[in-house]
């Protein structure tokens, strides 16, 4: 069977999964999910009920980073997996402390026990570290790696919380990195709008 990728266009986790699938050249059936009205087939497939979720002949992959690694294990023509071990540690920091601080900033009303400015400061510290590391085109070399493409969708999400404030910060390398990503063919290719999938629909194949 063609692997099935359940996705949601605006979710950064789903974005990075689509980025890796597109980079790998592997064809999947894309099923766009409505998060407020999840299809029963999706809920029956995904243990967590969150996107992305990839179903293959013999497994279900329910974590976005694992979907990325699966796709690149099939084919990695751009060498995204060619990065130092530190790249995996950086992704873990982005997925953990940075994402927590991002959520506490973006959804401050849901976290009345947190000080939004303190949480923003935590996120800024991580972003300034990225800025210091971005002395070349990407984090580890002149071409992107898994770390770049796993982290960029969340930097985009944070920037959009307060774009004017983000743009006013002194992190020129970070801003250049994000802007290059947003105008890239890779990002543009994964962001078209798809009709929400329903059982019985003809397959929509996601391929670049």
Q: What's the pLDDT tens digit per position in 43-96? A: 999 999 999 999 999 999 999 999 999 999 999 999 999 999 999 999 999 999
Eight-class DSSP state of 39 = -
What is the mean predicted confidence (pLDDT) over 128-132?
98
The 4-7 sheet, strands edge to edge: 60-61, 53-55, 4-7, 28-32, 205-206
Is the pLDDT reported for residue 152 higher than 80? yes
The answer to whether the beta carbons of residues 5 and 173 sit under 8 Å apart is no
What is the mean predicted confidence (pLDDT) over 133-152?
97
Query: Which are the contacts of 156, defined by CB distance < 8 A and separation ≥ 6?
Result: 12, 178, 181, 182
Q: Which CATH architecture has domain 4-77+190-206?
A: 3-Layer(aba) Sandwich (3.40)
Is the pLDDT reported for residue 109 higher than 90? no
Structure tokens at 126: 């991580």
Q: What is the rounded CA–CA span in Å between residue 97 and residue 105?
A: 12
Q: What is the pLDDT of residues 157-205, one digit of tens each?
A: 999 999 999 999 999 999 999 999 999 999 999 999 999 999 999 999 9
Does domain 85-187 bear CATH number 1.20.1050.10?
yes
Tell me the CA distances in angstroms from 161 to 118, 151, 169, 206, one per residue in order.
15, 16, 14, 29
Three-class secondary structure of residue 199 per DSSP: coil
Please state at what angle helix 64-74 crosses helix 12-24, rounded to 10 degrees.
0
Domain boundaries, the chain: 4-77+190-206, 85-187
Encode 73-121 in three state secondary structure. Answer: HHCCCCCCCCCCHHHHHHHHHHHHHHHHHHHHHHCHHHCCCCCHHHHHH
How would residue 208 be classed by pLDDT, with cut points 50, 70 and 90?
low
pTM: 0.96
Three-class secondary structure of residue 36 per DSSP: coil
The length of the chain in residues reads 208
Three-class secondary structure of residue 187 per DSSP: helix
Looking up tokens 């009709």 gives 195
What is the mean predicted confidence (pLDDT) over 107-125?
93
Angle (nearest 5°) at CA 197 between 192 and 201: 115
- Our measurement of the distance from residue 111's CA atom to the centroid of its chain's CA atoms, rounded to an integer in Å, reads 23
């Amino acid at each position: 069977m063609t692997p099935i990728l359940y996705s949601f266009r605006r979710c950064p986790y789903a974005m990075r999964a689509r980025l890796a699938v597109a980079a790998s050249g592997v064809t999947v059936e894309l099923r766009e999910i409505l998060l407020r009205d999840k299809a029963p087939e999706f809920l029956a497939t995904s243990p967590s009920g969150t996107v992305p979720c990839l179903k293959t002949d013999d497994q279900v992959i329910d974590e976005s980073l694992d979907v990325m690694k699966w796709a690149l294990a099939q084919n990695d023509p751009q060498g995204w997996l060619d990065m130092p071990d530190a790249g995996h540690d950086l992704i873990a920091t982005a997925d953990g402390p940075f994402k927590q601080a991002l959520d506490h900033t973006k959804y401050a009303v849901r976290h009345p026990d947190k000080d939004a400015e303190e949480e923003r400061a935590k996120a800024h510290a991580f972003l300034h570290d990225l800025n210091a590391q971005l002395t070349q085109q990407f984090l580890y070399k002149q071409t992107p790696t898994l770390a770049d493409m796993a982290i960029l969708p969340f930097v985009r999400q944070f920037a959009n919380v307060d774009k004017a404030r983000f743009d006013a910060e002194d992190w020129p390398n970070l801003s250049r990195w994000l802007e290059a990503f947003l105008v890239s063919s890779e990002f543009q290719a994964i962001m078209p709008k798809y009709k929400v999938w329903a059982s019985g629909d003809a397959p929509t194949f996601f391929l670049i």
